[in-house]
Amino acid sequence: MRIGMIGGGGVAQTLGAALAAQGQDVVIGIRNPSPEELAKPRAQAVPLAEWRARTGAKVASFAETAAGAEVIFNVTQGQHSVAALHAAGAKNLAGKVLIDVANPLDFSAGMPPFLDRALSGPTSLGEAIQAAFPEARVVKAFNTIAAAVMVNPGLIPGAHDLFLSGNDAEAKAVAAGIARSFGWTSLVDLGDITGARAQEAVLPIWVRLWMTGGSPMINLKVVRA
Ligand SMILES: NC(=O)c1ccc[n+]([C@@H]2O[C@H](COP(=O)([O-])OP(=O)(O)OC[C@H]3O[C@@H](n4cnc5c(N)ncnc54)[C@H](OP(=O)(O)O)[C@@H]3O)[C@@H](O)[C@H]2O)c1
C-alpha cells in the first residue's frame, strides 16, 4: 500500500517507520523538504534525514506525498491541519482514505492545553477536515494514545480500546485493518465523523492523567454493564 504522512513529527515518524517495516511504501510530507529542513532537530523525533536513512522511506512535499498515496495520515498540529491539507491539495485527497490523527490543541496558555474553541464543542477537527475536503474519506483514529502505543498497543498491559469514526464504512475498514496490523484487537466504532467530537474530547483528561501520573502510557477501556 502507498501511504503518505502529512506531517513529519514524532507521530508521522512512528507510524511511518512501523508501516515501512511491514513493507508498505511510505512517504513523509513536510512543508519544505530541503536538505536543511531534513537535517533540522525535531522535538520528540529525530531529524528526517536520519529517519529516512533508518527506514528507507522517502520525504517529500505535502502535495507530492498526497498525490502519490492511496492512504493518507493527517499528522500535523491540529490548529494547522486544514491549512496543511489545503497545501497538500484537495485534488490529491479526493477519493482517498484520510486518517486524521491530529488533535486541535491550543497551547497558547501553556500546559495543560485546551481544545481550540473553533474546532470543539458543536464541531471537531475531524468534521472540519471532512467539510473542507468533502471528497476525502476521513476517518478519525489513533488520536487518543501516545505515538508509541499507536503501533504497539502491548506497551499498555491488559485490554484497552482504539476509537474510530467516519462517514465511509470502507474507509473505516481500511483504518481498522491498519490498526489490526499493529496488534489492536479492540476497536470501538463511534459512528459517523461527528464521533470525532468525542475522540478529541478525550484529550483534556488524557493530558491530565499524563501530568498527574507522570507517564503517557495511558489508554481508555470501555466497560459496559
Ligand atoms: N505526540 C503524540 O504522541 C500524539 C498522540 C496522539 C495524537 N497526536 C496528534 O498528532 C499530531 C502530530 O503530532 P506530532 O507530535 O507528530 O506533531 P508536531 O511534531 O508538533 O508537528 C507535526 C507537523 O505539523 C506541521 N505543522 C506545524 N505547524 C504548521 C503550519 N503552520 N502549517 C502546516 N503544517 C504545520 C509540521 O510540518 P513541518 O515539518 O513542515 O514543519 C510538523 O511536521 C498532532 O495533532 C498531535 O496532537 C500526537
Q: Which residue, by CA, sits nearest to atom 18 of ligand 1?
A: 9
Residue 121 CB neighbour total at 10 angstroms: 11
Residue 40 to residues 30, 46, 59, 127, Cα–Cα distance (Å): 12, 9, 13, 33
Q: Please give the pLDDT value at position 214.
A: 97
Give the binding-site residues of ligand 1, using a 6 Å CB cut-off: 7-12, 30-31, 44, 75-78, 80, 83-84, 101-103, 105, 143, 146-147
Confidence band (pLDDT; 50, 70, 90) for 11? Answer: very high
Report the separation in Å between the CA atom of 74 and the middle of ligand 1, taken as the mean of its atom positions: 9
Q: Please give the pLDDT value at position 167.
A: 99
Give the tens place of pLDDT for each residue, 113-152: 999 999 999 999 999 999 999 999 999 999 999 999 999 9
Report the separation in Å between the CA atom of 223 and the middle of ligand 1, taken as the mean of its atom positions: 31
Q: Which residue, by CA, sits nearest to atom 27 of ligand 1?
A: 77
Atom of ligand 1 nearest to the CA of 31: 40
Q: Please give the pLDDT value at position 182.
A: 98
- For 193-219, b/e burial (b = at least 16 CB within 10 A) is bbbbbebbbbbeebbeebeeeeebebb
Give the domain ranges of the chain. 2-213
Report the separation in Å between the CA atom of 31 and the middle of ligand 1, taken as the mean of its atom positions: 12
Fold of 2-213: Rossmann fold (3.40.50)
Q: Which helix (H) or strand (E) holds 35?
A: helix 35-39
